[in-house]
Amino acid sequence: METKYETHQHDVLVIGAGGAGLRAAIEASAMGLSVGLVCKSLLGKAHTVMAEGGIAAALGNVEAKDDWKVHFRDTMKGGRYLNQWRMAQLHAMEAPDRVNELEEWGALFDRTKDGRILQRNFGGHKYPRLAHVGDRTGLEMIRTLQQHGVHTGMHVYMECTITRLLGSAPSGTGASATPGRVDGAFGYWRENGKFVVFESKAVVLATGGIGRAFKINSNSWECTGDGQALAYLLGAELLDSEFMQFHPTGMVWPPSVRGTLITEGVRGEGGTLRNKDGRRIMFDYIHPLYANETADTEAEADRWLEESTRGTGGSARRTPDLLPRDIVARAIHTEVKAGRGSPHGGVFLDIFSRRSAEEIKKKLPAMYHQFKELGDVDITKEPMEVGPTAHYTMGGIRVDPETQETRVRGLFAAGECAGGMHGANRLGGNSLSDLLVFGRIAGLFASKYAKSTNARRADAAQIDVYAREALEPFDREEGVNPFAVHEDLMNVMQTHCGIMRNEKDLLTCLRELDRLKGAASRTKIAGGNRHYNTGWHEVFDLRNMLIVSEAMARSALARKESRGGHARDDYPEMGPAFGKINFVCRSGRTGMDLDAVPLPPMPDEIAKLLKEEKQA
């Protein structure tokens, strides 16, 4: 084992270089601090580039009636009112400034005829709200943040895996409680396997999602719950872990690309979902919560699309094809289960009969090329086959809504790895604005914390323990293949903790996760070479995914209702008592502890906004 470690010191360390991480690093650099940005892959390759539809912000460029209050109500309603209300409010209020800021930094958005940022319709949003760049918005966002960020003086560390956060966990209760503190991070260079230490006053986690825990998913290889697991291991809490969003439209054919995302923008531009008989399915699945505002005939839905596209407004109600994702995904699941699905186990998404070939290629260029190249389907001439795919976790690290700080002092989180903003279900487009809004807030308050505290050297003994831990898979005489355990995990989660759940499946899931944890503790890496050792990388990804998977299954078992991204066929309705609590997971003495915590109280003026919506 190495006895000396490469060491870097910064005021603020940001782990993750997607939208939230870059925005946090930019903000911290603007505060005049030394900032380190660590990414698991290459800069510019984060999963944010996969986001297609747009950035949700109440700019009011297409519909002047739109404002932050409407956006806030839509977000709370979409989250079935389990959102941390203050996060949803801050998000709705600040999103327009963040989009305009992105434009000032060089983002090239699609335009209205009078030159303003164009906005499109998306599921669950009352008005056209998504600022977009065709169907490649995430790529443009990362390009803009990256180009702006590299000139701010931040230090970028690419292809580096962080295996542990350094510091102390919270301990005790009441007057004797200590909050814990983060002192940096420990990891290794993926290229050569050499260890590296980052000492930092503050750490921002922005590592993204957990989709790779599922067999069918839309996520890139980085999305293995790293930030959530790192925070949990240092004593932070995980919130709302039961809520996993299955995006309704992923590719279902060919098998090699099953789960690959198809943007909601296809439906935003007029696409319709049809079963094998050619019947539009969503009119049969209008949720009571959205009944008053949703068209119940094809004629009204088409009239709404025409009025919305022209920006003229009118009396027609929204098409049910743009209901929130949880409703649409379960509708597709039900159609397939009833034998009305497409040949390869999905339904049909039709845009070719709704828009001209020229419009499709202009508005949805990535979708056109994706299907042409991967599925040999010309979406200007024939429908797509689509089905649900594990896409986004609404749960994540529990943070303070105002600062994004966890219960570990100096440890902050933003973006998908942080929980609370989206409640039980995320609306499309809210993810990219979430990254910008809370990335900035996390960077700002991490900087303020760093300025107010003295640097502390990392504990050398703790580093040695983590170094030995990292090398254990090389030292075992025999063991299991981590890739085989990961494959097993994906099948377990897909089968027993997927789009529809019940008590029997969830109990089976927890038993299987215990078995897999045992297997993961015995993983063996063939050969002693640490250079580009993908098996070694998989060991840490697996550990992280097992932590977040257990949190999801435990929370899902406790939530005996169906709400948003959590659906149980043994408890198919929303339960009033469960609408008042969030579930929180934390590391306990004998394993993972689960607690129900009440929703934070809401000021009267905010409650009035939601009451008006519920009565509308």
Residues 601, 604, 609, 612: is their CA dihedral positive or negative? positive
How far apart CA 509 and CA 498 sit, in angstroms, is 10
Reduce the secondary structure of 373-398 to three states and give it as a string: HHCCCCCCCCCEEEEEEEEEECCEEC
Q: Where are the alpha helices (DSSP H) in 114-171?
A: 137-149
Token pair 């690959």 in the structure block, residue: 260
Token pair 């697996």 in the structure block, residue: 542
Residues labelled catalytic: 247, 267
CA-based end-to-end distance of the chain? 66
CA neighbours closer than 13 Å in the CB half-sphere of residue 20: 29
Specify the 3-state DSSP secondary structure of 10. strand
Q: Which two structure tokens, joined as six digits, stand for 78?
A: 């979409």
Cα–Cα distances (Å) from 483 to 68, 82, 140, 411, 528, in that order, read 46, 36, 33, 31, 17
Q: Which two structure tokens, joined as six digits, stand for 347?
A: 């339904």
Specify the 3-state DSSP secondary structure of 344. coil
How far apart CA 84 and CA 600 sit, in angstroms, is 7
Q: Which of 39, 433, 22, 16 is CA-nearest to residue 207?
A: 16
How far apart CA 527 and CA 524 sit, in angstroms, is 9
Angle at 343 between CA 338 and CA 349, to 5 degrees: 85
Beta strands 35-38; 155-157: pairing state: parallel
Residues 590, 235, 6, 459: is their CA dihedral positive or negative? negative
Angle at 121 between CA 115 and CA 125, to 5 degrees: 120
Burial 404-415 (b: 16+ CB within 10 A, else e): bbbbbbbbbbbb
Return all residues near 588 (Cβ < 8 A) that are at least 6 apart.
none
Q: Give the single-character DSSP code of 578.
A: G
Q: Where are the alpha helices (DSSP H) in 421-559?
A: 430-452, 460-475, 482-496, 503-520, 534-558
Q: Which two structure tokens, joined as six digits, stand for 593?
A: 């502890």
How far apart CA 616 and CA 614 sit, in angstroms, is 6
How far apart CA 107 and CA 17 sit, in angstroms, is 18
CB 194 within 8 A of CB 438: no
Specify the 3-state DSSP secondary structure of 166. strand
Q: Which of 105, 135, 132, 127 is CA-nearest to residue 116?
A: 132
